[in-house]
Amino acid sequence: MTEDTIKRRARGLDRAFDILDFLKEVGQPLRPNDIASGIGSPKSTVYELVASLLERRILEPVGKEGHVYLGRQLYFLGQAHLRHFDLSREADHALQEIVSQTRETAQMCLLNGRKYTVALMKEGERHFRISSDIGENAPIPWTASGRLLLAHLSDQEIVDLIDEDDFILPGGERLPLERFLAEIRQAGIDGFFSFDSVADTFTHCFAAPVKDPSGVAIATLCIVAPRADAKNNYNDYRRVLIDSANNLARRINE
């Protein structure tokens, strides 16, 4: 296989993942034309890749007007991944333990490229419910977890990673870069970060890192609680969360 062939196949693989990521973001079936426009790729290339992905059941046809969407083969691949992914399996137990001790909603969160996502969630044992969509991407600066997940990066690497518009918070104000970087450095020292959620006016978010053997945060465990309860139980929630994150790290790194 020539070097040019290898490079062409690599570009095709990148485009195929662009298609899958775009459909996941949009959350609904689309025609190949619309996909091509959305990812900025030639229509001929997208049609060819869509045909290949359909053949392998990575995509599936929807309706009679040429729409396609994520296929069930992705589900089976995901299940195979979970059977051998210790972090996900062990984190599920950790979240349940957090909920049993605090009665609050618990989450495991990750970076997804240049964004943040909730990978797992256990609802709290109270009438108050946290609305959060698992797998939905959010700007990293909007999150408590983001301060911890970026702590191993240099200032320049952080600037290069985050889209400029992601520093604009939901209320329209801009988060100053200097403040964001300072919070990241302090969170890295403390092994913990919490703040009143910028996405709503009712909750306070706690986050603690789950670190790999080299000390890099590969995930976070989080508690999302009503602000009044977070204030009244701050020290207990902080202790439970840090202990749970450290215990999870020990289990998956053994």
Read off the CATH number of the domain in which 171 is found: 3.30.450.40
- Of 45, 75, 105, which residue constitutes the final position of a domain? 75
pLDDT bin (cut points 50, 70, 90) of residue 6 is: low
Q: At residue 72, does pLDDT exceed 80?
A: yes
Residue 137 shares a structural domain with residue 161: yes
Q: What is each CA distance from 162 to 146, 187, 194, 219, 230, in whole angstroms?
A: 11, 18, 20, 18, 29
- More reliable by pLDDT, 146 or 8: 146
Looking at the structure, do residues 102 and 210 belong to the same domain, yes or no?
Answer: yes
Q: Where does the pLDDT of residue 84 fall: very low under 50, low under 70, confident under 90, or very high at 90 and above?
A: low
Q: What is the C-alpha to C-alpha distance for residues 43 and 183, in angstroms, rounded to an integer?
A: 44
Quote the pLDDT of residue 200.
74
pLDDT tens string 13-46 = 888 889 998 998 888 999 999 999 998 888 888 9
Chain segment 180-219, per-residue pLDDT in tens: 999 999 999 999 999 998 877 789 999 999 998 889 999 9
- Supply the Cα-derived Rg of the chain in whole angstroms: 20
Alpha-carbon torsion (153, 170, 179, 202), positive or negative? negative
Residue that is last in its domain, among 75, 102, 132: 75
Identify whether residues 57 and 89 lie together within a single domain.
no
Predicted local confidence at residue 79, as pLDDT: 72
Banded model confidence at residue 73, pLDDT cuts 50, 70, 90:
confident
Mean pLDDT of the chain: 88
Q: Find residue 196's DSSP bridge partners.
A: 204
Please give the pLDDT value at position 136.
82
Residue 131 in tokens? 């609305």
Residues 21, 38 contacting (CB under 8 angstroms): no
Q: Could you count the other beta carbons within 10 Å of the beta carbon of residue 228?
A: 10
Instruction: Give the pLDDT of residue 5.
Output: 61
- Tally of structural domains, the chain: 2
Range in 59-73, 125-139, 159-173 with the lowest mean pLDDT: 125-139
Q: Which residue type does 78 have?
A: G
User: Region 102-110: what's the mean pLDDT?
Assistant: 94
